[in-house]
Structure 1
Amino acid sequence: MIKRGVRRDMMEENQVIRWVKDVRKTDLELFGKKCANLGELYGGGFPVPFGFVIGLAAYERFLKETGARDELSTYFSTFKADPNSPQDISKFEEAERFARGLVESKKMPAELEELVMKYYSDLCRSLNKEEVWVSVRSSGPISRPGQYETYLFVRGEAEVLKHIVKVWSSTFNTRSLVARARAGLPLDYDPVGVAVIEMVDAKSAGVAFSFEPGSFSLLTMAIEGCWGLGEGVVSGRVSVDRWFVDRRTLTPVRRQIPRKTEEFVIEDPEKGGATFKLVPPERQKIPCLTEQEVKALAELTLKVEKHFGQPQDVEWAIRKDLEPPESLVLLQARPQKISKGKFGLM
């Protein structure tokens, strides 16, 4: 257990850390898109996991108070590499090793450390667990899919603190540095928020879209899912069920249910961690969602679309520890990228 008791009267707590339930989409610049959208979902009455969020101000304070900001500025002031040259990728990789090593060697300022520990302790208490498994995810003020890193199955105060810093350091990974260099943005500074969210042990999980991707139809939405955690879908390794649902009647007009031989599942609820395992034969050829779950998810996705006022791309999961309809939770929502041609604008 890490000691508490440090005064934090100088902290602007409301801009540094909040519960998910206390964040809204208007807080995007303070906490980043993922955190703001998750809080907005909660505020709209949608089912989301418990958790707390850490603002961009914490990233800024961490770099400044530890001296990392000045050291990074000095290093990148002489850094020269062409982001469009394959020969220069090694220079960006070397910069990543330096910057991430520097950031991760720094200790979180005491006032911020105390706040994070308090919120994690309160989260554990609210869920009636001594230590809760959480995911620690980045939340940038603008969408940069795949650039930063996510850490699953983090438990305990020290590990939560460690992985928050690792998310901050991931803003200096090679992908992020190359992208910023191509965009003409500073390499030494890229503040992000962090979401610390209860891990959901999912029976099945996936993504729902307001409109069927790759189609010019305005009448159908799409749902994709797999057995186990949603990271299985993201990895591209597991087979995915698909439903194409009539937006007016919420009934599937067609579906694709392949044989699913693998699932990404929690290995041990006590030890944490997840792994790819063989799906038992009796589940390999059946859908990962029931007809009732498909309809409930389609209805919920359209409600999210209405709440945000635009088509949405929604990450969902079916919890193992709850019964329907409470078992359906939303993990994230973001605007769905729609071809202009879909609406006859091209």
Structure 2
Amino acid sequence: MTYIKASSPLYQENPQVMATLKDVAELAGVSTATVSLALNDGPVNAETRIRVIEEARHINYVPNAIGRPLITGRTRTIQLLTLTSDLHTDTVRKTSLFYYILEGVLSVASERNYSVRFDVKSHEDPGLTEYIERLVGGGAVDGIAIIPQFHRTNDFMQVIIRDGFPYMLLQSECFGPDKHFVDMGNYAGAFMVAELFATAGAKELAFINGPKMHVDSIERERGFSDRIAIANPDSLRVWYGDFTIQGGYTGMSELLRQGRPDSVFCGNDYMAAGAIRRLLEAGIRVPGDVSVVGYDDNDICTGVFPPLTSVNNRFFELGNALAEGLLAQIADQTVVWRKTFTPFLVERQSHRQALRAGTGHGTSQFIDL
């Protein structure tokens, strides 16, 4: 690779030459240290920053990703870590929902010129704490966003907190009250479903839930049963599955052996699809005989018949918030970042007496497909 002096007209004639930090400094009339600060969100006045950025673009300067951390102390890389129960069987592998969150994280990170590393680890991994220690102390990332799914011991969190490392949690319920978290509103979303059933006059209700110790399962069951208890405290039957289509199919089969419910809430849309399939195979009409509502509002909702009513928990926005909170802490470690989302119902044709927006469900949308 040929190096050419920054002031040379050959920069315009040969855009493939490799510019250096010193070249940018020469053109901008500042020191190399000022160039580094300007290109890495350091304390530089706006006029200087603009001039440096313009000159860097003019000569196609690309910062050295290896050398940058030595100068700024930052890698401009964040870690997104999902903690699951079993890497071979869990829903991380079987559903696309985590990619919606990742997309939200990437959207914010790319705007701020940050890279994102994505990893999946088991809660049961005996090397989890050591893995976190390497992340925190190794200088490979500037902060970590964690998506825990199950209530487990949280020894590794002490490592993060002890070192004052920037972090964000999705679902702080996994580890108790915490400083930096995004709450996806599982309780509120499930409460909305129960309210929808109650308004329709449901009498025999069932809940096909996910794994018992999964944080989403716990919060969705709590929200659903709390509302049901107001009017029909003894009407609810619960079956625990695994957030898969087969899990919903099996759960519906078990419920039918005990007697047909008139309304079924499923812990996610995949189980709802399996439940609908089982009902239709048994000659049971949906929603004529049984109403079915899912959770997550993913693509499968419009791929089943009838189209599935579901709770939209705003995964992309959750990802945005995780990244925003993490980058805010990286910029200022005194920041405390908390955000709670309220999901909303998207009503389709899988439940009886679908109520259009403005008729009692202010958090609902009705989509007529």
Q: Report the TM-score, using the length of structure 2 for normalisation.
A: 0.24
Between structure 1 and structure 2, the one with the greater Rg is: 2
**Structure with the larger strand share:** 1
| Larger RCO of the pair (alpha carbons < 8 Å, separation 6+) | 1
